[in-house]
Chains A and B, each alone.
Chain A
Amino acid sequence: MSDLLVAMEGIERSFPGVHALDQCRFDLRAGEVHALVGENGAGKSTLMKVLAGVHQKDAGRIQVMGREVEIETPRAAQALGISMIHQELNLMPHLTVAQNIFIGHEPRRRPRFLLDEGALDDKARELLDRLHLRIDPRARVSDLSVAVQQMVEIAKALSLSSRVLIMDEPTAALTEAEIADLFRIIRDLSAKGVGVVHISHRLEELPRISDRITVMRDGRTIDTLATAGASIDHIIRLMVGRTIYESAPEIPDLHDHEVALEVRHLSRGRAVRDVSFSLRRGEILGFAGLVGAGRTEVARAIFGADPLDAGEILVRGEKVAIRSPRDAVRHGIAYLSEDRKRYGLALGMDVETNIVLATLRRFVSLGLGWINTAGTRATARRHVDGLRIRTPSVQQKAKNLSGGNQQKLVIGKWLTADTDILLFDEPTRGIDVGAKSEIYRLLNELAAQGKAIVMISSELPEVLRMSHRIIVMCEGRVTAELAGGADQEEVMKYATQRSDPALAANPPSATASP
């Protein structure tokens, strides 16, 4: 084991209210690419931040090249040859590429406080050449694309002659071609003996790049296995620790259920063209289609977020006029945006406030504007329990919750508002596999309680698994209405059924998931 670069054992780390790392271990050999996988919040980034000196361990041992070390600052980690490229890009946008690469160890001349700008650019160019990157060292970082910025980060890490390079989800924002570039660089590095830790969510890319895989779950190291011979299914099982997908939907008989929402001849510009459908209480109606098919636009039009050109909306059999989201909420309609961070939550505020945000008036004593905090707290607690939102308390800030729990928080908000027609737009986007199944279960429970649910999703398997009925859209029109459990090919056929025959001959190459 002489080629062991890093050995971590019994690592412990707690944050207020969270036991983030629990007896974690991890090791890295020279010249290997070691993938670190796990759900959001499993502790991957935290463990690596301990190694990179960003966080301090509470207990445990770290050995670097056989020597036991304490890594208390990023600088100490750098001195040991450990660099980390963080998930959110860590560059100074106002500085040039060269200035970024050598930040903290700029070439200087005499007297020592003077910078040597010429040497800086030369050394940067040399380093970029070595990586076969054609980037102008004097370009300003804010002018570069995310992919190029990623490469600059790598160059920056290598300028320290690192022997250990940690990359936290480097491929998350990259296109396929850019990923290929990145992987080429990673392979070059490992060929030179650098040990690379690759934290990733994209399991399908692991066989292409990694030698070993370590799985983490709930702050613990679950297992380390060789990539060769490990199946993705097995890794997912290790990550989740339970079976994830529920089987095909049981389609309830809804004939005697009241029609909660009916839409007739809805039109809005080119995005929504003559859309009609009905939705019963207790029903989950899936909306399938390619990105840009007009599904979100239909939901926004029903919700009053965008004005209609034509058409009528009936709620519980009565024709209603919805001119604003406020009208929609009054009629019991809620829209859960695909971008919940932007449109669904006050991220900096706590769980309690978020849950009662849409219904705050109800908790205000008349005249005084005084908020009944006991009431808001009780309501928040009820939903946290009912929806199984995982949070240390209702005082936790929304931004500290995982994606799945944030989604539940938005659901809680609308349940508080007594809405019973719920329009979900991409409810599982950006949520990891384990939390997805919880959202699915929640949707089923809500339907069983008599809520009427629209689920827009670009993940076809998800639509097929969840929906009692499926509406397929293409270019703003409804091209088919299928029973739940329809097969994938059939849905895809209608999702690409263009009105213009010339275009129909050339179906788009994109698949249902973007």
Chain B
Amino acid sequence: MDQPPAQPDRPPGARRALLRSNAIQTLLAFGALIVMLVVFSLASPNFLQFDNIVGILLATAVNGVLAIGVTFVIIAGGIDLSIGTVMTLSAVMTGVVVTNWHQPVLLGVVAGLLTGTAAGALNGVVISRFKVPPFIATLGMLNVAKGLALVISDLRPIYFTDTPSFNEMAMGSALGAITGLDVPNLVIFLFGAALIAGLVLKKTILGRYTFAIGSNEEATRLSGVSVNLWKTVVYGVSGLFAGLAGVLIAARLDSAQPSLGLGYELDAIAAAVIGGTSLSGGEGTILGTVIGAFVISILTNGLRILSVPQEWQTVVTGAIVVLAVYLDIVRRRRQEQA
């Protein structure tokens, strides 16, 4: 009775651990980032200018926040196509509350966040309760949010001219006031959001169930976990981050643009995938997603500095996404054979 019985047949060696984890893909993305930095800074003296770096950071912030939210959904084995237009709807909502109704900025921010969260949670209910496939449910929400944004705004941009503090929230520099490094607050929001999301994913019950559902939803359900509830929460989180992105983009542009937003969801999903989040669920990190978001924005920025036409920038980004997914598949296949 006391002899050691079953043992793990394959001790998880360091090499194997690296191979199977998405760490390698994150590393790859990080390597790509470095390579791009070197290539672009050699190719153009303008690339490493402070203003350009700030430009890259600003360009990454909104997409990064969206990508962080959608990372939760993808890890849980779902997809959220509605984040781009939900972002717009949230921005418009903030504009309506602040400019049209003359409420305090803080209330407008809360309204924006709540709008996003509600849209996400609704996605979650439709998907978990009514069993509508995530692709369809969120595609529907994409259009609903797009339409509502246009209806509420009466097809016109809403400007925040009466409330300069709103724009200050994103474009001011708290860091600059303290350290003299003039980095806009928007960037702080991105890293703050990333930090919190990373902790939630690693340290909380929500994070654990996100991975569990993505890894094996039925097993999670049979373990007594209320999968429907947690899926709703996960989509709600994605909506919350879309709402935050909406508030941030409105603050940055000093206006809520109701026709903006379409296409943002694909850049966000691309960022997550480039960063090693597996589209089949169960794997992914916030760090990877942030790196992925930077890969996209640096690529876009660098190509623009090299005067590559916008159309071609889009082509290149598209190809990179396919490449990232292909690498994920290759890694997975090798893992199965190992």
Flag if B211 contacts A139 (CB, 8 Å): no
A residues less than 8 Å from B12 (CB atoms): 136, 139-140, 143
Flag if A108 contacts B216 (CB, 8 Å): no
B residues less than 8 Å from A73 (CB atoms): 224
A residues less than 8 Å from B226 (CB atoms): 75
Take A94-B211, A140-B20 as given contacts and tell me if A147 and B6 are in contact as well, using a CB distance cutoff of 8 Å: yes
Interface residues of B in 189-223 (CB under 8 A from A): 203-208, 211-212, 214-216, 218-223
A385 to B81 alpha-carbon distance, docked (Å):
48
Q: Is B154 among interface residues, defined by CB-CB distance under 8 A? A: no
A75 to B220 alpha-carbon distance, docked (Å):
11
B residues less than 8 Å from A75 (CB atoms): 224, 226
Q: Is B334 among interface residues, defined by CB-CB distance under 8 A? A: no
Flag if B219 contacts A132 (CB, 8 Å): no
Flag if A184 contacts B6 (CB, 8 Å): no
B residues less than 8 Å from A459 (CB atoms): none
Q: Is B4 among interface residues, defined by CB-CB distance under 8 A? A: yes
Flag if A90 contacts B223 (CB, 8 Å): yes
Partner-contacting stretch, out of A14-22, A98-106, A192-200, A421-429: A98-106
Q: Which chain B residue shows the least CB distance to A79?
A: B224
Q: Is A292 among interface residues, defined by CB-CB distance under 8 A? A: no
Take A103-B225, A139-B12, A148-B9 as given contacts and tell me if A113 and B206 are in contact as well, using a CB distance cutoff of 8 Å: yes
Flag if A143 contacts B8 (CB, 8 Å): yes
A213 to B116 alpha-carbon distance, docked (Å):
57
Partner of B4, one of A92, A132, A136, A184: A132
Interface residues of A in 75-131 (CB under 8 A from B): 75, 78, 84, 86, 89-95, 99, 103-106, 108, 113-115, 117
Flag if B215 contacts A93 (CB, 8 Å): yes
Partner of B20, one of A86, A115, A142, A148: A142
A104 to B229 alpha-carbon distance, docked (Å):
13
A89 to B219 alpha-carbon distance, docked (Å):
8
Flag if B7 contacts A90 (CB, 8 Å): no
Report the contact-size class of chain A (Cβ under 8 Å from the partner).
35 or more
Give the total of B residues in contact with A, Cβ under 8 Å: 34
Flag if B216 contacts A90 (CB, 8 Å): yes
B residues less than 8 Å from A143 (CB atoms): 8, 10, 12, 16, 20
Per-residue contact bits, chain A 458-488, to B (CB 8 Å; 1 contact, 0 not): 0000000000000000000000000000000
Q: How far is the CB of A231 from chain B (nearest CB, A)?
A: 31
Q: Is A68 among interface residues, defined by CB-CB distance under 8 A? A: no
Partner of A74, one of B1, B2, B208, B222: B222
Q: Is A203 among interface residues, defined by CB-CB distance under 8 A? A: no
A residues less than 8 Å from B16 (CB atoms): 143
Q: Which of B6, B206, B208, B221 has the most CB of A within 10 A?
A: B6
Q: Is B283 among interface residues, defined by CB-CB distance under 8 A? A: yes
Flag if B215 contacts A92 (CB, 8 Å): yes
A residues less than 8 Å from B214 (CB atoms): 94
Flag if B9 contacts A144 (CB, 8 Å): yes
Partner of B205, one of A113, A134, A144: A113
Flag if A114 contacts B204 (CB, 8 Å): yes
Flag if A135 contacts B219 (CB, 8 Å): no
A90 to B211 alpha-carbon distance, docked (Å):
14
Q: How far is the CB of B220 from chain A (nearest CB, A)?
A: 7
Report the 9 A-B pairs with minimum CB-CB distance, sorted nearest first.
A90-B219, A75-B224, A92-B215, A94-B282, A94-B215, A181-B5, A104-B224, A145-B9, A104-B223
- 4 further contact pairs, Cβ within 8 A, besides A73-B224, A78-B224, A114-B205: A99-B212, A113-B205, A115-B207, A140-B20
